[in-house]
């Protein structure tokens, strides 16, 4: 808002910021007392820090608070939301009266920040994720050659989260100089004192070990806060950490520095006492009830059609490899696409993109949590992130994916090496829960391609589609099934084998689709016709369209998946049918039901009951009671 002075803040500036801090503290107390819940003491420890950032260091347009031209602020300690709202209100983003609607059903000012609130880029409240979001915002700004700075306010409690140090090492390694951490070390967690309490030097050593310029200050000394913010801004070549010793509940002596006050609003009497103590008595007018909720959130930018691949039906290519080629072709026509990999780019094949567009590819190292949350930050800046690891290791970032959905982020995740078909590496490398996990994410789309052409088209669809898009790719090479001009709508599926005599519908995807096609051949030789469906889109599903297919085979259905039975293809299909009032007449759900182990892929498909042999046996079993009408 105001300019920084190279000579250090003047006494009048310090006094003005001190006034702002008292006001933010008062607003935080008042809004939480009005709400009857919330975390006033967690706001009060950081009031001077927030005032310094918002009213001294940061440059942003309160009329357009999410503009990428402005500096960004991420409140990683999301429970201090009232402090953020107070700062936004005081900055003019919305009227101060609005803060008194905190936590109400009708208010956009939620208990923890979400992007419904103007000025907020990403949801916080699951601790330890904000620095990664800030890393993504800052990296995006660097890509845009923008001078935007990113401020991330963290609490000391959340610095126990490993993700904080994933983000810190990444920021240090990539020398992200437009990133400043403000650590509010108030020494008290929710349930008791934090691990290191006020041992400030431990935090300094930790940040310095990660390559940060770190300094320890008294977080209630406004001059020190402003000087540290100036110094951070002047630092080149590395991120900065301002590690502030603070007192939780600062300003209200009955609560200050005392355990047991976490997440507790003050009573009206306590509020009066605290306001008297800090010497501020704001008169907040009644709120007229106008919502300031953001009504439009970023959508992925449009882009021209990419070049076509030259795949030939019947040739072999693993879907994981096809993903890399697809991403490269998309990169040529969509400059917003960026990719990050968890040190597996040569297995997920994102290296094909990275080799073509090294400026837009980031080695994320083995730190999946940071990769996903950094993707949220990149997306908030209008990038189209594609993030990858083995599908099983994306489970490492499940909370981050959950928060990405609350952030209304548009991010794309590719998980390779799904299921037992990876073979010899064994169960630690086999994703068998990823469909269940990603289906149960708000705004998610779950794709599971079975050949290179569908992989190519679905990867393009991801780049155009909002929300959390997940692509499940497979390790083994599989034959190309589709012509280059085939379309893959969402929702949708493909019927690959059909005849008027089909007695059973078999639904598979990935390796189990290819096993289903083999089973169809085997059964055909035995005079049994089956319908085979490629369920390339597992979420959303068109229950009616599926019901039509299954109805055409007398309601007899086999689903088969390289996944646990829970939450996978079988459950998704059965539930989609039930929701349109249809049930199979006979049903077999084939999935992995015992803990797998190492072995050759084909041995494992057989041993764990999802091979062509098992599909044929199940189809035969449920078709047996039917007269052969062929």
Site for a copy of itself in 317-346 (CB under 8 A): 341, 343-346
Site membership for a copy of itself, residue 76 (CB under 8 A):
no
Q: Closest approach of Cβ 588 to a copy of itself, in Å?
A: 9
What is the Cα–Cα distance from 330 to 347, expressed in whole angstroms?
Answer: 19
Instruction: Find the binder of a copy of itself among 13, 28, 126, 186 (CB under 8 A).
Output: 126
Q: CA of 581: how far to CAs of 535, 548, 575, 576, 584, in Å?
A: 20, 12, 10, 9, 10
Q: Which is nearer to a copy of itself, 94 or 482 (CB)?
A: 94
Q: What are phi and psi of 296, to 5 degrees?
A: -125, 130
DSSP 169-203: HHHHHTT-TTEEEEEEE-SB-SSSB-SSTT-HHHH
Binds a copy of itself by CB under 8 A, chosen from 546, 570, 590, 605: 570
Interacting residues with a copy of itself between 440 and 459 (CB under 8 A): 440-443
Q: Rule CB under 8 A: choose which of 335, 427, 479, 491 binds a copy of itself.
A: 427
Q: How many residues make contact with a copy of itself (CB under 8 A)?
A: 111
Of the candidate spans 57-65, 83-91, 140-148, 439-447, the one that interacts with a copy of itself by CB under 8 A turns out to be 439-447
User: Does 556 interact with a copy of itself (rule: CB under 8 A)?
Assistant: no
Q: Which is nearer to a copy of itself, 326 or 397 (CB)?
A: 397
Nearer to a copy of itself (CB atom), residue 15 or residue 195: 195
609 binds a copy of itself (CB under 8 A): no
If the CB atoms of residues 280 and 507 are measured against a copy of itself, the closer one turns out to be 507
**Which ranges in 364-510 belong to alpha helices (H)?**
368-380, 391-394, 398-406, 434-439, 452-464
For residue 231, give every residue at least 6 positions away whose Cβ sits within 8 Å of its Cβ, in sequence order, or none: 213, 215, 240
The least CB distance from residue 261 to a copy of itself, in Å, is 12
Among 547, 589, 605, 615, binds a copy of itself (CB under 8 A): 589
Q: Which of 90, 368, 460, 571 is catalytic?
A: 368
Q: Are 184 and 106 in contact (CB under 8 A)?
A: no
Q: Tell the smallest beta-carbon distance from residue 319 to a copy of itself (Å).
A: 19
Q: What is the DSSP string of 478-539?
A: EE--S-TT----SS--EEEE--TT--EEEEE-THHHHHHHHHHHHHHHTT--EEEEE--EEE
Site residues for a copy of itself, 526-555, by CB under 8 A, read: 539
Query: At how many degrees (to 10) do helices 11-35 and 222-234 cross?
Result: 110
Residue span binding a copy of itself (CB under 8 A) among the ranges 46-54, 87-95, 126-134, 477-485: 126-134
Contact letters (x/-) for a copy of itself, 482-521, by CB under 8 A? Answer: ----------------------------------------
Per CB under 8 A, contacts with a copy of itself among 347-366 are 347, 351, 363, 365-366
Q: Which CB sits closer to a copy of itself, 215 or 368?
A: 368
Give the nearer residue to a copy of itself in terms of CB position, either 257 or 540.
Answer: 540
CB-CB neighbours of 201 under 10 Å: 11
Stretch that binds a copy of itself, among 67-75, 306-314, 456-464, 579-587 (CB under 8 A): 579-587
Strand pairing report for 494-497 and 468-472: unpaired
| Tokens (6 digits) for 449 | 């391609």
515 is catalytic: no
Rg (CA), the chain: 28
The CA distance from 451 to 517, in Å, is: 13
**Residue 297 found at the interface with a copy of itself (CB under 8 A):** no
- SS3 letters for 155-171? ECHHHHCHHHHHHHHHH
The stretch among 116-124, 220-228, 319-327, 470-478 that binds a copy of itself (CB under 8 A) is: 116-124
Largest CA distance in the chain: 94
Q: Identify the DSSP state of 257.
A: T
69 binds a copy of itself (CB under 8 A): no
Residue 36 CB neighbours (<10 A): 10
Report the SS3 class of residue 616. helix
- Closer of 144 and 343 to a copy of itself (Cβ): 343
CA distance 98 to 109: 8
Residues between 146 and 185 with contacts to a copy of itself, criterion CB under 8 A? 157-158, 160-166, 169, 173
Q: Whole-number minimum distance, CB 468 to a copy of itself, in Å? A: 12
Residue from the set 15, 234, 307, 583 that interacts with a copy of itself by CB under 8 A: 583
558, 590 in Cβ contact below 8 A?
A: yes
Judged by CB under 8 A, the residue of 23, 24, 26, 35 near a copy of itself is 35
Query: Could you say which residues in the range 209-268 bind a copy of itself, by CB under 8 A?
Result: 209-210
Q: Which residues are catalytic?
A: 368
């Amino acid at each position: 808002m105001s300019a920084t002075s190279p000579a250090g803040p003047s006494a009048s500036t310090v006094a003005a910021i001190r006034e702002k801090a008292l006001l933010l503290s008062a607003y935080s107390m008042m809004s939480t007392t009005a709400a009857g819940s919330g975390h006033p003491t967690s706001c009060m420890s950081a009031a001077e820090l927030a005032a310094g950032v918002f009213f001294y260091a940061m440059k942003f347009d309160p009329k357009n608070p999410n503009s990428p031209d402005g500096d960004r602020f991420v409140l990683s300690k999301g429970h201090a939301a009232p402090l953020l709202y107070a700062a936004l209100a005081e900055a003019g983003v919305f009227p101060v009266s609005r803060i008194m609607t905190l936590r109400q059903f009708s208010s956009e000012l939620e208990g923890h920040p979400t992007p419904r609130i103007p000025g907020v880029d990403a949801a916080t409240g699951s601790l330890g994720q904000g620095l990664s979001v800030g890393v993504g915002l800052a990296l995006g700004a660097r890509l845009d050659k923008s001078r935007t700075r990113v401020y991330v306010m963290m609490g000391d409690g959340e610095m126990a989260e490993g993700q904080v140090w994933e983000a810190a090492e990444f920021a240090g390694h990539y020398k992200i100089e437009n990133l400043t951490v403000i650590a509010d070390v108030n020494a008290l967690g929710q349930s008791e004192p934090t691990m290191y309490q006020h041992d400030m030097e431990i935090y300094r050593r930790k940040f310095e070990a990660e390559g940060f310029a770190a300094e320890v200050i008294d977080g209630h000394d406004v001059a020190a806060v402003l000087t540290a913010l100036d110094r951070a801004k002047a630092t080149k070549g590395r991120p900065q950490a301002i590690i502030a010793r603070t007192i939780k509940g600062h300003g209200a002596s009955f609560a200050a520095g005392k355990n047991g006050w976490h997440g507790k609003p003050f009573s009206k009497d306590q509020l009066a006492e605290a306001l008297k103590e800090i010497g501020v008595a704001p008169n907040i007018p009644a709120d007229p009830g106008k919502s300031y909720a953001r009504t439009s959130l970023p959508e992925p930018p449009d882009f021209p059609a990419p070049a076509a691949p030259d795949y030939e039906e019947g040739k072999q290519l693993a879907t994981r490899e096809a993903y890399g080629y697809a991403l490269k072709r998309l990169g040529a026509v969509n400059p917003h696409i960026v990719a990050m990999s968890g040190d597996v780019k040569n297995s997920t094949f994102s290296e094909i993109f990275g080799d073509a567009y090294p400026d837009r590819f980031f080695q994320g190292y083995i730190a999946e949590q940071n990769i996903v949350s950094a993707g949220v930050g990149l997306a908030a800046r209008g990038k189209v992130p594609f993030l990858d690891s083995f599908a099983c290791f994306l489970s490492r970032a499940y909370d981050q994916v959950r928060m990405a959905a609350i952030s209304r982020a548009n991010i794309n995740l590719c998980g390779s090496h799904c299921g037992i078909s990876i073979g010899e590496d064994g169960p630690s490398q086999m994703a068998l829960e990823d469909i269940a996990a990603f289906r149960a994410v708000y705004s998610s789309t779950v794709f599971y391609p079975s050949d290179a052409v569908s992989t190519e088209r679905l990867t393009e669809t991801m780049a155009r589609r909002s929300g959390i898009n997940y692509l499940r790719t497979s390790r083994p090479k599989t034959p190309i099934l589709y012509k280059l001009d085939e379309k893959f709508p969402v929702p949708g599926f493909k019927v690959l084998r059909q005849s008027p005599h089909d007695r059973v519908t078999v639904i598979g995807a990935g390796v189990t689709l290819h096993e289903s096609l083999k089973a169809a051949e085997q059964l055909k030789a035995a005079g049994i016709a089956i319908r085979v469906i490629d369920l390339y889109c597992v979420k959303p599903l068109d229950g009616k369209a599926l019901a039509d297919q299954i109805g055409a085979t007398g309601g007899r259905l086999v689903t088969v998946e390289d996944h646990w039975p829970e939450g996978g293809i079988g459950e998704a299909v059965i539930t989609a049918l039930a929701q349109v009032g249809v049930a199979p007449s006979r049903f077999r759900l084939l999935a992995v039901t015992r803990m797998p182990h190492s072995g050759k892929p084909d041995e494992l498909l057989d041993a764990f009951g999802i091979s062509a042999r098992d599909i044929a046996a199940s189809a035969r079993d449920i078709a047996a009671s039917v007269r052969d009408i062929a």
